[in-house]
Amino acid sequence: QVHLVESGGGSVQAGGSLRLSCASSVTTSSFGCMGWFRQHLGKQREAVAGICTDDESNYAEPAKGRFTISRDNAKNTLYLEMDNLEPEDIGMYYCAAATYFRGPNGRLDPSNYNYWGQGTQVTVSS
């Protein structure tokens, strides 16, 4: 059974950094893709970044140049390094995993992901 557990969220000031981690109960190399999504209160869940078996990664526009997604298959852990955080980055951040790699467009498509963690909260104060 697949369990994804996020950690690393917290409260920072604008311009600060956080590193999110997602520990998987099964080997991360077995997933076609893994990704990070976020949801701010009252808004729809949105993609942040995704990385797949081809080791290519995609970023949503707000994350480009500030966030970095990476995967350590030896530790079965997915990471999201977030720098230069802004109040607009506030939200619950979710780790997700997809059984299959359905092509580049699937990296940021939540419908492609069939396993989800419980989330970790990120708060940024101005």
**What confidence tens digit (pLDDT) does each residue in 22-48 have?**
999 999 999 999 999 999 988 999 999
Chain CA centroid to CA 111, Å: 15
**Does 15 have pLDDT greater than 90?**
yes
pLDDT of residue 106: 84
Tokens of 22: 């997602």
Task: Provide mean pLDDT across the span 46-52.
Answer: 96
Model pLDDT, residue 118: 97
- Over residues 8-35, the mean pLDDT reads 97
84-88 long-range CB contacts below 8 Å, 24 or more apart?
Answer: 84/15, 84/17, 85/12, 85/14, 85/15, 85/16, 85/17, 85/18, 85/122, 85/124, 86/14, 86/124, 87/14, 87/124, 87/125, 87/126, 88/62, 88/124
In the prediction, which pLDDT does 55 show?
83
pLDDT digit string, tens, across residues 55-73: 899 999 999 999 999 999 9
Each residue of 73-112: pLDDT tens digit?
999 999 999 999 999 999 999 999 999 988 888 889 999 9
